[in-house]
Amino acid sequence: MNNYMFSPRQTEGEKRAFLDKISQVAEQGGIPHLVDILERAPMRARAISTAKAYLSECNRRWLWSDGKRMLVGGTGEQRFLLFLAERSLEVGSSALAKAVAAFQLSNSTLSPFAAQLSSDIIKSRKKSEIFHRIQPKKVSEDVVLKIIELVTDERKSERDTLLVAISWYALLRAEEAANLQWQDIGGHRGTLKVTVRQAKNDQLALGRSTFVECKEGSLLDCLLKRWEAKETRNPIKSKYLTDAPAAQGIVEEIAEESGNELTTREEAGATPERELNHINYN
């Protein structure tokens, strides 16, 4: 974690001035090492992935500011707002929000007007994203059941169908299902436990577990046992549940072959649909 502490360059503005005063007091008292704890505290209080992201944003801002020599006379807050405005031309609202959080971590709270301007820039970018967003394709449970019904003895068919089923029932993303290992799957009394080692937005890297109803003789139970039996006979058995390294297009491909269309909205009274990115494999 030592790599993610604040250096004098990384602590700026009022926060830097405040810490400098504490340093003077600590030096007089013969306890300068305690200042180091204060320097490290802002990053140690955050997850490693968050600390890395904030430092990356700060470095990007410093490099930008160093390249704009005409801004030397401006305040740190003024330079940041200009940086944020230019950054809004290149990145989305979430990256802009991260830049604001990183600035406040190394400086202090933005002034009311600067905070309002920052918020307006983020909101305007988000509004643009919503306007231009392409709605994800969705697949209904009826399509999933139709895909399962059409499974054949061919190995690729069984693999793809299992990926579709376990992704649907366990609400897994593409890469999550593609990276499942046999030891991540466990059943007990009609319940299947699916462990995802690295989940999206899992800042502490703790993973997550999903519990799915999987009674003996159910569709999912039969698909798993069928695939396990086939893989047991495979001379080169992988530790992974499937051998699909990529993850785009399987659902679309099978849906097309089964004569079903993927919808982009939920029709009134229809079975709730789930976004395709949960069950989207190659």
Give per-residue pLDDT as tens, 176-214: 877 888 888 888 888 999 988 876 666 666 778 889 898
pLDDT digits (tens, 9 = 90+) for 226-248: 888 888 887 777 788 876 544 44
> What angle in degrees, to the nearest 10, is found between the helix axes of 93-106 and 76-87?
160
Per-residue 3-state assignment (H helix, E strand, C coil) for 171-188 = CCCHHHHHCCEHHHEEEE
Please tell me the predicted confidence (pLDDT) of residue 2. Answer: 43
Per-residue 3-state assignment (H helix, E strand, C coil) for 60-94 = HHHHHHHHCHHHCCCCHHHHHHHHHHHHCCCCCHH
Sign of the dihedral through C-alpha 201, 205, 206, 207: positive
Asked if the model's pLDDT at residue 278 lies above 70, the reply is: no
In this structure, the chain runs to a length of: 282
**pLDDT-derived band at 251, boundaries 50, 70, 90:** low
For the domain made up of 138-278, the CATH class stated in words is mainly alpha
pLDDT digits (tens, 9 = 90+) for 36-78: 888 888 778 888 888 888 888 888 988 888 887 655 566 788 8
Asked if the model's pLDDT at residue 169 lies above 90, the reply is: no
Please tell me the predicted confidence (pLDDT) of residue 116. Answer: 95
Asked if the model's pLDDT at residue 280 lies above 50, the reply is: no
Please tell me the predicted confidence (pLDDT) of residue 134. Answer: 65
- This prediction has a pTM of 0.49
* Residue 217 vs residue 234, higher pLDDT: 217
Domain ranges of the chain: 2-132, 138-278
How far is residue 102's CA from residue 86's CA, in Å, rounded to a whole number?
16
pLDDT digits (tens, 9 = 90+) for 80-115: 999 999 999 999 999 999 999 999 888 878 899 999
Asked if the model's pLDDT at residue 164 lies above 70, the reply is: yes
pLDDT digits (tens, 9 = 90+) for 9-35: 467 778 878 888 998 999 999 998 898
**pLDDT-derived band at 249, boundaries 50, 70, 90:** low
pLDDT digits (tens, 9 = 90+) for 149-159: 888 888 888 88
Please tell me the predicted confidence (pLDDT) of residue 10. Answer: 63
Q: For residue 2, what is the DSSP state?
A: G
